[in-house]
Amino acid sequence: MERVVAIIPARGGSKGIPGKNIKPFLGMPLVAHSIRAALGAESISDVIVSSDDDAILTVAEDHGALALKRPANISGDEASTESAVLHALATVEGCKLADVVVFLQCTAPLTTSSEIDRVVRTRAAMNADTAFSVVDVHAFLWEIASDGTGIGVNHDATKSRQRRQDRPKEYRETGAIYALRKDAFIEAGDRFFGRSVPVILPDAVEIDLDTPRDWALLEAFAKTTDLQGLVK
């Protein structure tokens, strides 16, 4: 059986929502939701939170994750998620035994343990290099030309509007869950390499927490549906 480690990158800086990663969401720090989901996943052996912020690291430890202090040179606005994951893989002893690394976005607090397991197991079953979570979308996308007119991106605007069921299936990357073959990821340095497999999550929530409006919408949705029994 493959050994799988989960890494949750969580920087301290947030312009849209100050202190976002430890701001209470449904009464629990935001990053704690991702920790909870990872710890509950049957496929995950270790859960690591990488952060430059001591308050986040304290929350991580309090909720059962291994807290890893991230160096300042890979903690700024321009730093990639990959750099944080690569640092964790090179630093944490338990990562040396791992075959697969999963990284999770803590701005998707309604991610479930079963969704993590689904992505991990799909990658293994399909012998893929990477697997990542997606949801189906039905939006008509447009570009705006230099003269201000619209150009259809995923549809032909010169033809009659197609019914949703007649259009090709399209999917949006959620950014919430990625499962990667560890050694190949270290060599590639990027989340997409080799054979990549999208994993459809039919019940995934599509709202990322980037603005106060996003926060209000997602928390209201969670309270209304309480799909995971998170509302106290």
Q: pLDDT of 62-77, one tens digit each? A: 999 999 999 878 777 7
Residue 16 pLDDT grade (very low, low, confident, very high; cuts 50, 70, 90):
confident
CA 71 → CA 8, 91, 105, 124, 188, distances in Å? 15, 11, 19, 32, 21
Residue 82 pLDDT grade (very low, low, confident, very high; cuts 50, 70, 90):
very high
Strand partners, 50: 9, 68
Q: What angle do CA 119, 44, 217 make, to 5 degrees?
A: 60
Confidence check: pLDDT of 231 > 80: no
* Mean pLDDT of the 54-65 span: 96
pLDDT at residue 164, as a whole number: 75
Q: What is the mean pLDDT of the chain?
A: 90
Confidence check: pLDDT of 224 > 60: yes
Q: What is the 3-state secondary structure (H, E, C) of 16-60?
A: CCCCHHHCEECCEEHHHHHHHHHHHCCCCCEEEEEECCHHHHHHH
Confidence check: pLDDT of 11 > 70: yes
pLDDT at residue 229, as a whole number: 58
Nearest Cα to 101, choosing from 210, 214, 11, 4?
4
Strand partners, 46: 5
How many Å is the maximal CA-CA distance in the chain? 59
pLDDT at residue 6, as a whole number: 97
Confidence check: pLDDT of 140 > 60: yes
CA 229 → CA 22, 32, 232, distances in Å? 20, 15, 8
User: What is the residue whose two structure tokens read 């990477």?
Assistant: 130
Q: Are 142 and 153 in contact (CB under 8 A)?
A: yes
| Domain spanning 4-134+170-225: CATH 1.10.8.420 | no
Lowest mean pLDDT among 147-151, 188-192, 207-211: 207-211
Residue 169 pLDDT grade (very low, low, confident, very high; cuts 50, 70, 90):
confident
pLDDT at residue 161, as a whole number: 81
Q: Higher-confidence residue: 157 or 108?
A: 108
* Mean pLDDT of the 130-141 span: 92
Q: How many helices (H) and strands (E) does the chain have?
A: 6, 11
pLDDT at residue 56, as a whole number: 95
pLDDT at residue 228, as a whole number: 53
DSSP character at residue 77: T
Domain spans of the chain?
A: 4-134+170-225
Question: How far apart, in whole angstroms, are the C-alpha atoms of residue 204 and residue 194?
Answer: 26
Q: Are 75 and 56 in contact (CB under 8 A)?
A: no
Confidence check: pLDDT of 27 > 50: yes
Confidence check: pLDDT of 227 > 60: no
Question: How far apart, in whole angstroms, are the C-alpha atoms of residue 228 and residue 206?
Answer: 16
